[in-house]
Each structure stands twice: as C-alpha cells, then as structure tokens.
Amino acid sequence: MSSTNFSLASKVKLSNGKLMPQIQLGLYMMSGREAKAAVRWALAAGYRGFDSAQMYRNEREAGQAIRDYLSSNTEGITRADVFYTSKLASNSTSYQTVRRSIRQSVEACGLGYIDLFLLHSPYGGPEARLVSWRALEDAISDGEVKSGGVSNYGVRHIEELMASKPRIAPTVNQIEVHPFNTQTDIRAACAKYGIVVEAYAPLARAMRMRHPTIVELSKKYSCTPAQLLVRWSLQHGLVPLPKSAKRERLLENVQVGGFEISDADMEKMDALDEKLVTDWDPTDAP
C-alpha cells in the first residue's frame, strides 16, 4: 500500500536522473482546438505534463497553448517546469527519415526541445526499431530531446532493444494499463531495466466504469470511478495519462490525494484483469 499523498506536483525520477510529473494529461483523440483549450485549462489547474504524438495531429496546438501560458502566467512558471512528450508515428529503416521526423516534431511544438520522445509502437520490424532508436539517441545527444523511450513495447521488444546495448537507455515504456489489463509481464520487464511505465487509457476509456467492483470501491472510498482508477495506477508506481477534453473532469480526475486504496482492495482490483484492449495492441508485433 502506498501512503503517498499524490497530487499534480508529484514527480518520478527517470533512470537518467530527470524528473517527470507522475500525473499527466493525455491528448489522444483531441482535435487541435480541443487540445489547445485542454492544455490551457490544465496548466491553470496545476498540470505540468502533456502527452502528445505525431499521430494525434495536435503537436502544434499543444505547444502553442504551453507557450501562451508561459508568456502570460504570473506564477513564474517557465519552460523548465513543463514536461512535454511526443512520439514518432512510424519506425523506419532510414535513419535520416526518423531524424528529420523528430526535428519536425520539435519545430511543430515550438518549445525549443521535447522533454520525452517515444517510438510510438514496435511496428516495422527489428531493423526499423533499432535504426529509429539510434536516430533518437542522436536527437538526445544534439539537445533536441531530453529523454527517450518507447511505447506499446512488449517483453520481446524491450529485450531486443536492451540486447543491442543502446548508447542511451530507454527511460519509459508507455502501454495500456488499468485493472482490466494489468500487463504484469511487461511491467516486470520494464522494472528489470529501470524503465518507468506510463499508463495510457488508465480509465479503460470509460468501458468499465459501471463494473460492480469499481462501483463498490468508489462508494467505499467516496471517490469517482475515474479517481479510483487513477489512484490504482499511482499506487502501482505507474504514471497515468488520464485524458479529458472537459474542464471539470480534467480537474476532478486527479483529485486523488484524499484517500488510499488498501492492500486487499488493490488485490481485488488487480484480479479484474481480463486482458481488455480498448484500442490497439502492438505489444506482440513481429
């Protein structure tokens, strides 16, 4: 059981020593306009981590909202206080293609650098994965990116990358994780190499909010089902990326400091695993 009083100020330390907000806003499936508004509201509410991607087509708007806030806030918040993530849409066996693509993401957000850049999936095969990683290492060496990681990597993909003896180790693996898909094997492989697991779809895309166990425990802890699911993630040491384009939900989802899930109830939630995939699952890609 974790007695940590989690909040938007909570941070995790990556294997390279850099700090990352432990609760971040996911920008998946948001239009540019929605992302711009959501980032603005979230910054005002205290969010400091934002998860975008080339595939989301909102890098420009997310970056613009962050820049607007930095130039107008009265709390002295600077670029160094914000943690911005983007992801490579497609791995490639062409080093130059990937290198150029990363540079385009840096330019699109207009933030000077990207805090965390991920290979969005293992698709493309072994050579494309390793060439793309080499291009990402060089983007880090050149100061365009501060930390590198992967997303949707299964155990085999993590082992493949680590066996290649990378010059710069991956700091993060972002995968779908929630009580209905606990991903224990992948999480164990990540732990072995000091890779932090970010949980996308931590609310299971609202597909199980009415599950009897979730309803029962939400009542017990006087919280919403979304708050219960975010708290479960945090107590497992994960970095959840709850997504909402609604201002009130964006605030409510992360108010998880006022209760603590007991060990017995954490186990009860862990037992809900049904390997539920809410979107795509590239973790077994060849």
Tell me which residues are annotated as active site: 56, 120
> 229 in helix, strand or coil?
helix
* Residue type at position 214: I
CA distances from 192 to 10, 80, 126, 141, 195 (A): 23, 29, 21, 25, 8
CA–CA gap between residue 257 and residue 252 (Å, rounded): 11
List, in order, residues 6 or more apart from 259 with CB less than 8 Å away. 221, 222, 223, 231
| Beta strand 11-13 pairing with 19-21 | antiparallel
CA–CA gap between residue 115 and residue 52 (Å, rounded): 11
CA–CA gap between residue 235 and residue 261 (Å, rounded): 8
Tokens found for residue 79: 């670029």
Other CB atoms within 10 Å distance of the CB of residue 281:
15
Q: What is the 3-state secondary structure (H, E, C) of 43-97?
A: HHHCCCEEECCHHHCCHHHHHHHHHHHHHHCCCCCCHHHCEEEEEECCCCCCHHH
Closest-CA residue to 129 (of 99, 103, 145, 150) = 150
CA–CA gap between residue 198 and residue 278 (Å, rounded): 16
Residues 251, 252, 258, 262: what is their CA dihedral angle, to the nearest 10 degrees? Answer: -130
